[in-house]
Amino acid sequence: MAEANPQPLLAVENLEVAVAGHPEARILRGVTFAVNRGETLAIVGESGCGKSMTSLSVMGLLPAGVEKTGGSLRLDGTELPITDNRKMRKIRAARIGMVFQEPMAALNPVFPVGKQVAEVIGEHMSLSRSAARARVLSLLDQVGLPDPERIAKSYPHRLSGGQLQRVVIAMALACDPEVIIADEPTTALDVTVQAQIMRLLKQLQIDTQVAIVLVTHNLGLVAHTADRVAVMYGGRKVEEAPTRELFLNPQHPYTRGLLDATPHPDRQRRGGKLLNEIPGTVPSITDPMPGCRFAPRCAFAQADCQAAPPPEEGPAGHRVACYHPAAWAAQDKTEAPQ
Amino acid sequence: MSTSSRSRPWIFLGKRLAYGLLAILAIAVINFFLLKMAPGDAAEAMAGEAGTATPEYIAELRAQFGLDQPVLVQLGHFLARLATFDLGYSFRYGEDNVTLIFDRLPATLMLMSASLLVAVIGGIIFGVTAARYANRAPDQAISLVALLLYATPPYWIGLILILVFSVWLGWTPTSGMVDVLAFNTGWAHVVDVAHHMILPALTQAFFYLAIYIRLVRAGMLDVLSLDFVRVARAKGISESRIMYRHALRNAVLPLLTVVGTNLGGFLGGAVLTETVFSWPGVGRLMFDAMFARDLNLLLSILVLSSAFVVLTNLVVDLLYVVINPTVELK
Ligand SMILES: Nc1ncnc2c1ncn2[C@@H]1O[C@H](COP(=O)(O)OP(=O)(O)OP(=O)(O)O)[C@@H](O)[C@H]1O
Ligand code: SF4
Ligand SMILES: [Mg+2]
């Protein structure tokens, strides 16, 4: 699917983000990815690796004190006017919808939820009052909320987290956007509700061909929902591959570490640990280390890793930024006969 | 459980009214004793004015006013009259206390509403602007002025305003409520009163304006850091709509509570402002009653003011429930 389309819907290229006035505090150090219509790209990585900053950059909603310092963000071939709030407003929700992590905090406590969905419609679509109302109800129905009339009149504190997240999704979908960015949309929810919300997003994608960027650190979620996965570490993308390929054949030591760090009953049955943690901590955004940012924690690091950041290499379908990809394959061989 | 109290407001109302009555009663009793402890009484003051301060004459006056009775008997009489909404008669003014107070009330309420509006609306506009440009030039300017207004005594502000706008510039009258020589009627009268009201209203408003600016600014900064503001931005709505609709609606809740508790303060401030500007209101009446040792009139004003404050606080609490859907009546 990705290869067939010459121009991706959303293309992020060499995105650089830093703390304003502190160019050495580089939060994103050249992030590149693209998404096509009807496709789901997952962005995974440890806390602090820059996933949210990436999504907020695309919305033009970087927090005060953080700014884009380089790279390009293109929607359907056109550069996003992220520094022009007036122009960007016409794109937010209308062309790029966003779903956030904390549904409990995402809605304004003093307005009924129906009004908050209607606000998006009122801003971007010229519909009559009654048509807008009807659209709110049909959206609430579409996201699987029972009794939309009643829900629309409810204040946020009367609804559960799962219900609220459905409302937030209805808000993100209200103007038929081309892209939805979902930043940890299920992290705050119960496991059963998580699955429901992800199924809902997938179903909506089948119905509307919306492109989804799914930000998460839950690899289990990724396995079932994403077409492709981009793995981030320390403000960089370290590996990107189709989901199945990434799970079966990870190339970057960090990706492998992440996969090992997901609870794995099989491995436990084979006598291993349920969970392997990656030792060490993420480097600070101000750390000027010249080479691979994973080197201090990498079991396969060698002298050449410290010199310069490893470039992205490999076939179009499976890119990896590492000087010694899948180094464990060689190690496993030497360890095998004993 | 909490839903039930929200859906049965009369229980809340009944409770609050009962508490309110108790509070008024307590205020009446405490003030009664406080004023009894004050030196001098109406008889002495009146006799002093009449220039015939013979002990016999004073005793006669005391007997006439019931001031020779034991204190507890006087208290009993006072409370009994209060129960029938009879606040007594002012010998000083030769008029029922209630009539005296209610004649002056419109002037005070008008001044109070005007200054309240200036303080609240100004507080919101400047507070929101300061928060929107937090730590940048507009915020720094607003915060500095707010600090100055907060730190300067109101009577001094009043005198400076009179000096600058009335004496030097001649834009506004120095005192009073109407131009007594003009005999304005209709629209001209309204304009005349408004013209006279500018300075006293501003004087009384400034202190609270400063408080409200700081309160709204802090509240807005709190609210603006919340997730739903970012979500609102992601909807593509304008920054002013985010400020005034999404954030302010939340930030205004603590303001409402504070304004409610300040209503008594506005009334108290009226004494000072009305005296400085010779504004013919209840505050001025209270000041005069104090000088004339017309303790009964003073007490009547205090009791009526407390009733007024209790009632307005109740209204504010009800408003709070209307504005904030998450609050429950208790
Ligand atoms: N307002 C800010 N000012 C300066 N630095 C910030 C700010 N917000 C985040 N950062 C830094 O940017 C880096 C990336 O943060 P980001 O929120 O994108 O991480 P994340 O991958 O989304 O993590 P999580 O999984 O915890 O959500 C972090 O190291 C953080 O310290
Ligand atoms: S480049 Fe070197 S240090 Fe970095 S991940 Fe690859 S092997 Fe490890
Ligand atoms: Mg995040």
And the tokens for A257? 């570490």
Q: Which segment of A329-338, B156-165, B302-311 scores lowest on mean pLDDT?
A: A329-338
* CB of A228 sitting under 6 A from ligand 1: no
Question: Measured between CA atoms, how close is B252 to chain A, in angstroms?
Answer: 11
Smallest CA-to-CA distance from B207 within B158, B277, B171, B244 is with B158
CATH of the domain at A28: 3.40.50.300
CB contact under 8 A, A106 and B228: yes
Q: B311: part of which helix (H) or strand (E)? A: helix B295-323
- For residue range A290-332, what is the model confidence (pLDDT) as tens digits? 999 999 999 999 999 999 999 999 888 899 999 999 888 776 6
What average pLDDT does the segment B173-201 reach?
A: 82
pLDDT of residue B142: 95
Question: Measured between CA atoms, how close is A99 to chain B, in angstroms?
Answer: 8
pLDDT of residue A335: 55
Evaluate whether residue A109 is within a structural domain.
no
CATH 1.10.3720.10 domain residues, chain B: 104-323
- For residue range B219-236, what is the model confidence (pLDDT) as tens digits? 999 999 999 999 999 999
What's B104-323's CATH class? mainly alpha
pLDDT score of A278 more than 90: no
What average pLDDT does the segment A20-40 reach?
A: 94
**Where does residue B287 rank: exposed (0-12), middle (13-18), buried (19+ CB within 10 A)?**
middle
The larger pLDDT score, comparing residue A277 to residue A183, is at: A183
Q: How far apart are CA B145 and CA B143, in angstroms?
A: 6
Evaluate whether residue A242 is within a structural domain.
yes
Token match 């987290």: residue? A161
pLDDT of residue B187: 81
pLDDT score of B299 more than 60: yes
Question: Are the C-beta atoms of B277 and B160 separated by less than 8 Å?
Answer: no
CA distances from B62 to A102, A221, B31, B59, B286 (A): 73, 90, 20, 5, 22
**pTM for the whole structure:** 0.81
Evaluate whether residue A298 is within a structural domain.
yes
Q: B36: part of which helix (H) or strand (E)? A: helix B9-37
How many A from CA of A15 to the centre of ligand 2?
22
Evaluate whether residue A329 is within a structural domain.
yes
What rounded mean pLDDT belongs to chain B? 85
Number of domains composing chain A = 1
The pair phi, psi for residue A5, each rounded to 5°, is -90, 120
pLDDT score of B54 more than 70: yes
* CB of A27 sitting under 6 A from ligand 1: yes
pLDDT band at B59 (very low <50, low <70, confident <90, very high): confident
What average pLDDT does the segment A12-33 reach?
A: 94
pLDDT of residue A202: 92
Q: Which of A94, A100, A155 lies nearest to residue B231, judging by beta carbons?
A: A100
How many A from CA of B292 to the centre of ligand 2?
92
Q: What whole-number percentage of chain B has pLDDT above 90?
A: 29
pLDDT of residue B33: 86
Length of chain A: 338
- For residue range A64-82, what is the model confidence (pLDDT) as tens digits? 899 999 999 999 999 999 9
The larger pLDDT score, comparing residue A198 to residue B123, is at: B123
Q: B129: part of which helix (H) or strand (E)? A: helix B97-132
CB contact under 8 A, B236 and A109: no
Q: Which of A59, A108, A123 lies nearest to residue B228, judging by beta carbons?
A: A108
pLDDT of residue A241: 96
Question: Are the C-beta atoms of A19 and A285 separated by less than 8 Å?
Answer: yes
pLDDT band at A167 (very low <50, low <70, confident <90, very high): very high
- For residue range A209-236, what is the model confidence (pLDDT) as tens digits? 999 999 998 888 888 899 999 999 999 9
How many A from CA of A185 to the centre of ligand 1?
17
pLDDT band at B320 (very low <50, low <70, confident <90, very high): confident
pLDDT score of B175 more than 90: no
The larger pLDDT score, comparing residue B266 to residue B241, is at: B241
- Chain A hits for B227, Cβ within 8 Å: 100, 102, 105-106
CB atoms within 10 A of CB A272: 12
pLDDT of residue B171: 84
pLDDT score of B208 more than 90: yes
Residues of A engaging B, defined by a Cβ cutoff of 8 Å:
59, 61, 85, 88-94, 97-98, 100, 102, 105-112, 119-120, 123-124, 155, 157, 168, 171-172
pLDDT band at B322 (very low <50, low <70, confident <90, very high): confident
| Residues A30-59 as b or e (16 or more Cβ within 10 Å = b) | bbbbbbbbbbbbbbbbbebbbbbbbbbbbb
How many A from CA of B133 to the centre of ligand 1?
23
Evaluate whether residue A38 is within a structural domain.
yes
CB contact under 8 A, A93 and B239: no
Evaluate whether residue A102 is within a structural domain.
no
pLDDT of residue B2: 42
Question: Are the C-beta atoms of B100 and B297 separated by less than 8 Å?
Answer: yes
pLDDT score of B218 more than 90: yes
CB contact under 8 A, A110 and B237: no
What average pLDDT does the segment B83-99 reach?
A: 83
Residue A310 lies in domain: 10-84+211-335
And the tokens for B56? 């016999």
Rg (CA), chain A: 21
3-state class of B169 per DSSP?
Answer: coil
